[in-house]
Structure 1
Amino acid sequence: MKWIYIAAGILLYVKMMIMPNPISEGFDISIVEAVVRDSGVPNAVSGIIFRNRLYDTIFEVIVFTIAILGSYFLLANEKPTEKVYQFTDPPSIVLARLGATITSLVSIELAIRGHLSPGGGFAAGVAGGTAIGLIAITSPSEWMQGIYQRWQAATWEKVSVLIFIVLAAVTLLGLEFPDGELGTLVSGGIIPLLNILVAIKVALGSWAVVLLFIRYRGLL
């Protein structure tokens, strides 16, 4: 049987190399140009995520929220780690906190200008979560937990999700903000705001998960 599979693979490879790909005719503009024109933002990826497939993006945010809740449920009956070991040598602390500073600045940049350049809410949230993780591996878990509770990060995370769902639902109903001038910071209608909300959600959710796993499983 394996010779049949090998022959089929060779034939498929020959087909891809020899037979030309069908080219659609009758289109005067490219798909990317059409997305940019309709969404009002130069970053076509953001236009697709927050406009053309906004319905899918809503559920992606909800799935991420459910994953965080699942982490709490999974570790609810676990016994907290008695002692969490962090990096204590000065070079590691300096490098980790320098990296956290850089990634946090990148996170803010991606959240604010994600609709104008490569990036966006999800990338900004990942960068923010990375910054928090770098701080967590060099700081006491009690201190990180205290900051998390003092700034009510869990509440802000839930509020950002609710606002995102409401604004996305309003957009799906056909009510849109003015597009503004293409290429400027205030452009793309509601897309920049959705970018910022997703960045907040992903960063704060990552913070919660990092604290949770460090508390119950130690430094990963």
Structure 2
Amino acid sequence: MKWVYGIAVLLAALQLIVGEVGSVSPNRAAGVALVEAVEILASESGVPNAVTGLILRNRLYDTVFEVVVFSTAILGAQYLLADEQPTANVAQFTDIPSIVLARVGATISALIAVELAIRGHLTPGGGFAAGVAGGTAIGLVAITASSTWMEAIYKRWRAAMWEKLSVVTFIGVAVVALAGWELPRGELGALFSGGWIPILNILVAIKVALGSWAAVLIFIRYRGLL
């Protein structure tokens, strides 16, 4: 039976090769059409990053529900673990080299988060990527610092309030944008361009970063690790 399988694999490989050779022109045409679609999307949204323009303009309705789902997930984790007893042992780094490396990595991730949030409509990035980078920075600090200290800072700066405020503000701005009220798009490629898109990017970044902080604190408190 091995020779049967060998012939089948050979025929499949030949079919792929023949199909690739015979479809050069269609693939090239599809590539040209894709480039044209990206150019149209960039010109309509007013930002060079077509992905950001698609998410925060053409698919803004879907993005609103994605933000709501993320918020619901954080609330669900808080609700499901609220009845459990906090753990007494927390797994953390204790050696100096690991702590230094984690803190340096946290600083770099935080700077990247700011860059992605502010310039995410011009370069690859955006609000969700910025929020993930911010959450990574918080997680790196969490595995090298006292959980009590992290919770104290979280409460002192009222991070929970800012997280909820960012969600409400995002939904409000999205409703205004979906209603057809647009800000001036500005010059394509400029920092202040794209209408509501840069503002929505920053709001999403704040929401995801602070939501990640809340999730990190929850799992450290009730599970002892991230």
TM-score (norm 2): 0.88
Q: How many residues align?
A: 214
* CA pair 45-81 structure 1, distance change in 2 beyond 3 A: same
What are the Cα deviations for residues 45-66 of structure 1, in whole angstroms up to 9, with x where unaligned?
1110100111111111011011
Where do 1:103-182 residues align within 5 Å? 103-182=109-188
Structure 1 segments of 4+ aligned residues over 4 angstroms from their partners: 11-16
Mark the runs of 5 or more structure 1 residues left unpaired by the alignment: none
Q: What is the percentage of aligned positions where both structures have the same residue?
A: 64
Q: Does 1:100 align with 2:106?
A: yes
* In structure 1, distance between residues paired with 2:222 and 2:19: 51
Which residue is equivalent to 1:80?
86
What are the Cα deviations for residues 61-81 of structure 1, in whole angstroms up to 9, with x where unaligned?
011011111111221121110
* CA pair 16-166 structure 1, distance change in 2 beyond 3 A: farther
Q: Does 1:201 align with 2:207?
A: yes
* CA pair 65-16 structure 1, distance change in 2 beyond 3 A: farther
- Choose between structure 1 and 2: higher helix proportion: 2
1:40 to 39, 46, 56: 46
Which residue is equivalent to 1:215?
221
Alpha-carbon distance, 1:13 to partner: 4.4
* CA pair 19-63 structure 1, distance change in 2 beyond 3 A: farther
Which residue is equivalent to 1:51?
57
* In structure 2, distance between residues paired with 1:15 and 1:121: 43
Secondary structure of 2:176's partner?
helix
Alpha-carbon distance, 1:17 to partner: 2.9
TM-score (norm 1): 0.90
* In structure 2, distance between residues paired with 1:96 and 1:31: 42
Q: Does 1:89 align with 2:92?
A: no
* CA pair 13-201 structure 1, distance change in 2 beyond 3 A: same
1:17 to 16, 20, 39: 20
Mark the runs of 5 or more structure 2 residues left unpaired by the alignment: none
* In structure 1, distance between residues paired with 2:91 and 2:120: 36
* In structure 2, distance between residues paired with 1:119 and 1:191: 13
Alpha-carbon distance, 1:85 to partner: 3.1
Aligned-CA RMSD value: 2.1
User: What residue identity is the alignment partner of 1:203?
Assistant: A
User: What residue identity is the alignment partner of 1:153?
Assistant: A
* In structure 2, distance between residues paired with 1:187 and 1:45: 15
